[in-house]
Amino acid sequence: MASKLWEKSVTVNSDVEVYTVGLDREMDMYLARYDVLGSLAHIAMLESIGLLTSDELKVLSEELRAIYDVIEEGKFCIEDDVEDVHSQVELMLTRRLGDIGKKIHSGRSRNDQVLVDLKLFIRSRIEDVITAITGLFKALISQSDRYKDVLMPGYTHLQVAMPSSFGLWFGAYAESLVDDLTVLKAAYTVTNRNPLGSAAGYGSSFPLDRDMTTRLLGFDSMDYNVVYAQMGRGKVERIVAQALASVASTVSKLAFDACMFNSQNFGFIKLPDQYTTGSSIMPHKKNPDVFELTRAKCNKIQALPYEITLITNNLPSGYFRDLQLVKENFLPAFDSLIDILVMVTRMVSEVSVNESILDDPRYRLMFSVEEVNRLTLAGMPFRDAYKKVGLDIEKGEFEPDYTLKHTHAGSIGNLCNDRIVGLYDDLLASFDFDKFHVAFSRLLGKE
């Protein structure tokens, strides 16, 4: 049986162990490859300050890279009597290399190990999320351009209000993703700082070269103050969860619109048959289950920042075991959001649009504002024009003009999609994911 890294002469009660370890082994599988990468940077630094020989660094690096390959092949596991991923990696090293394997923990704690693992994980997963967002963004812009001239009712208070278009509707969600990307950029900036070397939150008497590990791991800077580095546990996750929730909020609103506009009472869009389900007793039904589940899944992600806040908001500085529970819904949230984005992208790309909505007379009155504006442009004071059109409607004498002449920026006739794409592309380029990809390749001996 493997002993705990911290265990001395007293063996912990087995029930206590089960209670305190919880889901750590399962959650740590998300972090395994990043634990190896953090260790590769750490031992390179230890050799540079004389705590490892060059020969020891060589064999440790080779063995860690072999463990990394095992993880990538899906063959890595955390054994039942091993507490966490950090213990498993160190155990594998000592089994193969003996006492040399015990040297990798010099100058660090499991506290800063998990901090750096989480930041490396988050950084990589943000890139994956953005790849999925980009797919949806492109689909929305494509549909906006495709249906830019197809009019639809716009609503306020769920009452028919003014003319809108599918160009505006699709494009609005594309631009919403631009703002979501801005929030993700802020979360990425907070994440992209190196906590390694903070140890248990109070530094180390070893002469650690934290600039070196910052460079080796491709971080923009370090978390300089070691106490703050530890205080960042939970805070970083909350900030990132808020960014994920921002994306989820956009998609949830889109899902609600899609369900409503697909219903028979609206009939604005038709979802692809392969993305709908039927009823067990009503043969005519085609239910928008995919968008309904999307809405619920997005709402779960929107709850995540509040869950993290409730776990962490009454903790003083220093490490506490409460923080372990943050992992349980936070780590899987990235996969959940990516799955949502991929599915919604497919549906948005294949949705068909009703191009004859305005044939229905119930939408005649939404052109009343157009008539008020026409009279105002012709010289009538706005309030007089408003009153005249209102009286015509009351008397049943209003005759709409379906011709629109919107030309200002962002309106039906001038969507500004090219500018929206430009904003998105500029934000996307600002992430500089290549920096950490190059760093990882060097640590793994691939450059």
DSSP secondary structure letter of residue 196: T
Minimal CA–CA distance to 42: which of 5, 81, 95, 93? 93
Supply the Cα-derived Rg of the chain in whole angstroms. 28
Tell me the C-alpha to C-alpha distance, in Å, between residue 361 and each of 284, 388, 399.
26, 21, 11
Domain limits, the chain = 14-106, 117-155+162-198+223-358, 360-409
Could you tell me the two tokens for 374? 């026409």
Mean pLDDT over the full length of the chain: 92
Cβ burial of 306 (10 Å; 0-12, 13-18, 19+) is middle
pLDDT band at 17 (very low <50, low <70, confident <90, very high): low
Minimal CA–CA distance to 193: which of 123, 268, 257? 123
pLDDT band at 352 (very low <50, low <70, confident <90, very high): very high
Superfamily of domain covering 117-155+162-198+223-358: Fumarase/aspartase (Central domain) (1.20.200.10)
Q: Which residues, listed in sequence order, are joined to residue 270 by a DSSP beta bridge?
A: 352
Report pTM.
0.91
- pLDDT, position 272: 83
Could you tell me the two tokens for 99? 């006492």
Q: How far apart are CA 425 and CA 328, in angstroms?
A: 33
Q: How far apart are CA 393 and CA 389, in angstroms?
A: 6
CA 232-300-321 angle, 5° bins: 35
- pLDDT, position 77: 93
Tell me the C-alpha to C-alpha distance, in Å, between residue 99 and each of 60, 94, 103, 104, 316.
11, 6, 7, 10, 37
Average pLDDT over residues 367-376: 93
> Residue 407 is which amino acid?
T
Cβ burial of 251 (10 Å; 0-12, 13-18, 19+) is buried
| 9 pLDDT higher than 60 | no
Lowest mean pLDDT among 81-95, 264-278, 286-300: 264-278
14-106 adopts what CATH topology? Fumarase C; Chain B, domain 1 (1.10.275)
Neighbours of 312 (CB within 10 A): 19
- Alpha-carbon torsion (413, 415, 417, 418), positive or negative: positive
DSSP secondary structure letter of residue 322: G
Could you tell me the two tokens for 258? 């899609």
Evaluate whether 220 touches 192 at the Cβ level (below 8 Å): yes
DSSP secondary structure letter of residue 68: H
* Residue owning tokens 């923080």: 323
- pLDDT, position 11: 61
Average pLDDT over residues 221-241: 95
Same fold, 14-106 and 117-155+162-198+223-358: no
Q: How far apart are CA 196 and CA 230, in angstroms?
A: 10
Average pLDDT over residues 315-325: 86
Q: For 181-230, how does the pLDDT look when each residue is reduced to its tens digit (9 = 90+)?
A: 999 999 999 999 999 999 999 999 999 999 999 999 999 999 999 999 99
- pLDDT, position 1: 43
Q: For 135-169, how does the pLDDT look when each residue is reduced to its tens digit (9 = 90+)?
A: 999 999 999 999 999 999 999 999 999 999 999 99
pLDDT band at 7 (very low <50, low <70, confident <90, very high): low
- pLDDT, position 6: 44
